[in-house]
Amino acid sequence: MARKKNQNNDKTLTAKRRLVTHTNPKLPVAEQYRTIRSNIQFSNLESDVRSLVMTSSGPSEGKSTTAANLAIVYAQQDKKVLLVDADLRKPTVQYTFQLENHIGLTNVLTKQTTLGTAVQNSHITDLWILTSGPIPPNPAELLGSQAMEDLFEEMYSQFDIIVFDTPPVLPVADAHILANQCHGIVLVMKSGAVEKDAALKAKDILQSANGKLLGVVLNQKKQPDDGQYYYYGTKA
């Protein structure tokens, strides 16, 4: 029992560290997320960026953590924000926010339930979560379906900002499929871990889908004080 309790405590502490914009909003790294938000907002002055694909070239680059914190800083602007776990292969958003994942995106897309029923309260003001739901055998087909197109319209009618946490670009086509349906794409790269060829290939794949690549977040870039910052740059 003690071991299980310790494991639960570890998960809680991990979630708190991930959600730094909520738990420690005055830290420099939290300010970097707000800078990313501002840069996105100014990236297109002609129209609002209301939907974002957050992805990476490969796994373990921090795109899920970046998606969660970016969703939080949008919510801190008193916007109604929906964070969607569109990684239907290895979903993690339910762990980050300590939610159930019995019902989610896959159930909505297969008409087993409604968006209103599937969306969960994150316990952070103005931020709601749509977890992945059960892992389907055909993730790419579901994300590219007419049901997904219809769901976009419904989400826009209920939320100001929709942030999609998607799988990495290079292994699977899921982010590529959503890229041209959203208003913008942010590519997350782990500093010192991504080869130039992989980064360029990820960029080319996203742009070939007619998606609008807004920029790149360089994740876990060490600074002299050993802090971790997140930089946002224009596309190369």
Angle, vertex CA 230, rays to CA 226 and CA 231, nearest 5: 120
Domains (range + CATH), the chain? 2-233 (3.40.50.300)
pLDDT in tens, the chain (236 residues): 444 444 444 454 455 558 999 999 999 999 999 999 999 988 876 678 999 999 999 888 889 999 999 999 999 999 999 999 999 999 999 999 999 999 999 999 999 999 999 999 999 999 999 999 999 999 999 999 999 999 999 999 999 999 999 999 999 999 999 998 999 999 998 876 677 888 889 889 988 888 899 999 988 666 555 445 444 444 43
Say which DSSP state 91 is in. -
* Cβ atoms of 185 and 206 closer than 8 Å: yes
Q: Beta-carbon neighbour count of residue 72 at 10 Å?
A: 27
Q: Beta-carbon neighbour count of residue 156 at 10 Å?
A: 13
DSSP letters along 143-185, please?
Answer: HTSHHHHHHHHHHHHH-SEEEEE---TTT-SHHHHHHTTSSEE
* Tally of helices (H runs) and strands (E runs) in the chain: 11, 8
d(CA 63, CA 185): 12
Reduced to 3 states, what is the DSSP secondary structure of residue 195?
A: coil
- pLDDT attached to residue 13: 43
Q: Which residues pair with 233 in a beta bridge?
A: 216
3-state class percentages of the chain: helix first, strand second, coil last, to nearest 5: 40, 20, 40
Q: Beta-carbon neighbour count of residue 48 at 10 Å?
A: 11
d(CA 62, CA 211): 21
- pLDDT attached to residue 198: 85
Q: Which amino acid is present at 185?
A: I
- pLDDT attached to residue 222: 64
Burial class (CB in 10 A: 0-12, 13-18, 19+), 234: exposed
- pLDDT attached to residue 86: 97
Reduced to 3 states, what is the DSSP secondary structure of residue 112?
A: coil
